[in-house]
Amino acid sequence: MSDFLEVNQANFQSSVLESPQPVIAEFGADWCRPCKTLEPVLKQLGEEWSGKVTMAHVDVDNDPDLATKFNIFGVPTVILFIDGREVDRFTGYQPKERIVARFAPHLQLG
């Protein structure tokens, strides 16, 4: 997960909610197979959207309070934050095209 900003209770406010860039935060866990399938897709999007979006990862086992705060009932759950607000989310594995179709309209990618 080195290409993702590791986010936890201590740095969530500054890294996600106060980020000058949109943040795509994946709430996942080490034991989660769909998370492992989704992460390379998110990594690829992070490379394509480099400089426009920050990719972050929250380990729900290490930070259950964050998972509770954002109503994470299943992993992976991916949330797009813009200006500190949740703009969109999805749960479970999604193919790249579906993620782009969902999140790109919210982002200034041009």
Where do the structural domains in the chain lie, given as residue ranges?
5-106
Per-residue pLDDT of 51-104, as tens digits, reads 999 999 999 999 999 999 999 999 999 999 999 999 999 999 999 999 999 999
Pick the CATH number of 5-106 from 1.20.210.10, 3.40.30.10, 3.40.1190.20, 3.30.413.10: 3.40.30.10
Contacts by 28-33, CB closer than 8 A, 24 or more apart: 28/57, 28/58, 28/59, 28/60, 28/75, 28/76, 29/59, 29/60, 29/61, 29/75, 30/59, 30/61, 32/75, 32/76
Q: What is the pLDDT of residues 6-35, one digit of tens each?
A: 999 999 999 999 999 999 999 999 999 999
Task: Please identify every residue annotated as catalytic.
Answer: 32, 35
Q: Tell me if 55 sits within 8 A of 45, measured CB to CB.
A: yes
